[in-house]
Amino acid sequence: MMFIPWTIFPLRTLDWALKSPAAGIIIACYAAFMILSGIFTIASYMKAKVQNSLMKICLLVNGLYAVVGIAAFGLMMV
């Protein structure tokens, strides 16, 4: 789940992805995925007690993704 949000950059080079309805849908889908992956990682870390070094790195990265996803939704609402 850590590398999927970066796939938006090559996708946004296409002409159809920059037009208004498609751009909003793409950003909303990526933001929702980032938030859900952050929630899943936090839940896995806390509930399943998967607390190794790799999981701590994933928790940090996906937590940041979740914050950015929430910010993206906030900017879309304004």
**Cα–Cα distance measured from residue 70 to residue 34, given in angstroms and rounded to the nearest whole number:** 9
Task: Give per-residue pLDDT as tens, 25-76.
Answer: 999 999 999 999 999 999 989 988 888 899 999 999 999 999 999 999 999 9
Model's pTM, two decimal places? Answer: 0.82
Q: What is the pLDDT of residue 48?
A: 84
> Where are the domains positioned within the chain?
22-77
Burial of 1 (0-12, 13-18, 19+ CB in 10 A): middle
DSSP the chain: --SGGGGHHHHTTSSGGGSHHHHHHHHHHHHHHHHHHHHHHHHHHHTS---SHHHHHHHHHHHHHHHHHHHHHHHHH-
In one letter, which amino acid is 27?
Answer: I
Task: Give per-residue pLDDT as tens, 12-22.
Answer: 888 888 888 88
Q: What is the pLDDT of residue 12?
A: 82
